[in-house]
Structure 1
Amino acid sequence: MAGWNLWHGCRKVSEGCRRCYVYRQDARWEQDASQVRRTAAFDLPVRRDRTGRYKIPPGQTVYTCFTSDFFIEEADAWRGEAWAMIRERSDCTFLMITKRIDRVAACLPADWGEGWPHVVLCCTCETQERADYRLPIYLSLPLCRREVICEPLLERLDLSRYLAEGRIDSVSCGGESGDDARVCDFDWVLDLRRQCVDAGVAFRFRQTGARLRKEGRIYRIRRQFQHSQARRAGVDFIVEG
């Protein structure tokens, strides 16, 4: 596993962005997180060590652009170089998550075809309104794999009609982090899981968030326990094959 934040900074575009962790972290250093800038790690995937080997070994999953959005407008001038590096490193898997799914079609490389097998492009849906806007676009794109990320999960979602199409491979969800996090209700998690089970789609409860409501009680959960507590819930659904 490797991280590649080739540009940093983002603009908020939907309700899920309201309490963005990048803004929270940058504020500690008195930096403006809305300013998008290319980073010193821009060429990380193609860097080599003294022996000539790639510093990111083959077979790694590279978490791409997690402190920005790969498809943000301010990065249009740099994205061609980024695609070239991703193309070169077809021996790794590049995973990216976007809230700008409506920009993807215009930003794909000319040789994308039906998708590059080593690129996993995930679409986020935090509310029903965003799901109903983004998922039809997402399902229309030429992709080898489709993963829906419902984080932060801000309300009960009905994804059943999209899951029924059989073109979504997995769904994951989780609550919001931070001291002022909004509540995630465990009933919403279970309902989303039920929809996935009914459709035969893999499901993962990735993290509880800082405030989880369960059986009418709100639990405050420290950041270091949010992933482990989600795993302990034992609600993940694995699809074999």
Structure 2
Amino acid sequence: MPIWNPWHGCHKISAGCMHCYVYRRDASVGRDASAVAKTGDFDLPLRRDRHREYKLQPGEGTVFTCMTSDFFLEEADPWRPACWQMMRQRPDLDFAIITKRIHRFMDCIPPDWGEGYPNVSIYCTAENQEMADARLPLYLTLPIRHKHICHEPMLGPINIEPYLASGQIEYVLCGGESGPGARPCRYEWILSTREQCVRYGVRFHFKQTGAVFIKDGKVYHIPRKLQQSQAARAGIDYAGE
């Protein structure tokens, strides 16, 4: 999975941010995760090797963008236009942007956005029912070609049927929380979201169990390296219609 982090650092804005892995990793090396700065990979989509081939090659998978920050962070406003330009220059790549700041979307799009770039997917994070109901109604009004919902970390049962019923959502991803102090994720929450997706023919992916996973009343403490493989073993991903 290619990752492009044009800048690093962020600010916590909702419950899902409490145990942010970026803050945890930065603290371990004495770095302030709230300090926002461009990275050395800012121009990664246009970077070439000594043979003049792009370092990010088509076919390597979706390029997950700004995974150590938020693409719509206020401090990044001066840098974002150049990133949109790079996405335009690489129509052979698919870019995925996961955000908790969908409320800033219309202030951050380029002049030629129209109904959305065909190669850009926007994931709206909804970690609990409160955030689902705060963010998703707005999300459905926005000009985005590929709309995805991200329940990660999933902090409770979430009803997204009104939003799936719109026919606009292509994909839903669920996952538990990792790291020290991780809040539990219950299997019944995951299954409920899957059932909702199946009813509306929307693709569903169970990404990871999280560190504290509750199934059939039993609490499992799962090492980080096994959280994705244990989720895969559940065999509940749904390809959609």
- Assess same fold via TM > 0.5: yes
Following TM superposition, by how much is the alpha carbon of 1:203 offset from its aligned partner in structure 2, in angstroms?
A: 1.0
- Aligned pairs for 1:1-241 within 5 A: 1-60=1-60, 61-240=62-241
* Contact 1:208/1:227, CA 8 A, preserved across alignment: yes
Following TM superposition, by how much is the alpha carbon of 1:238 offset from its aligned partner in structure 2, in angstroms?
A: 1.1
* Contact 1:59/1:93, CA 8 A, preserved across alignment: no
Following TM superposition, by how much is the alpha carbon of 1:54 offset from its aligned partner in structure 2, in angstroms?
A: 1.4
Gaps of 5+ in 1: none
* Partner-residue secondary structure (3-state), 1:226: helix
Following TM superposition, by how much is the alpha carbon of 1:58 offset from its aligned partner in structure 2, in angstroms?
A: 2.8
Q: Percent identity?
A: 55
Gaps of 5+ in 2: none
* Number of equivalences: 240
* Partner-residue secondary structure (3-state), 2:78: helix
CA distance in 2, matches of 1:59, 1:224: 26
* Partner-residue secondary structure (3-state), 1:218: strand
How big is each residue's C-alpha offset from its partner over 1:102-122, in whole Å with a ceiling of 9 and x where there is no partner?
Answer: 001110010011111101111
* Partner-residue secondary structure (3-state), 1:77: coil
* Contact 1:127/1:153, CA 8 A, preserved across alignment: yes
Q: TM-score of the superposition, structure 1-length normalised?
A: 0.97
Following TM superposition, by how much is the alpha carbon of 1:59 offset from its aligned partner in structure 2, in angstroms?
A: 3.7
CA distance in 2, matches of 1:166, 1:186: 26
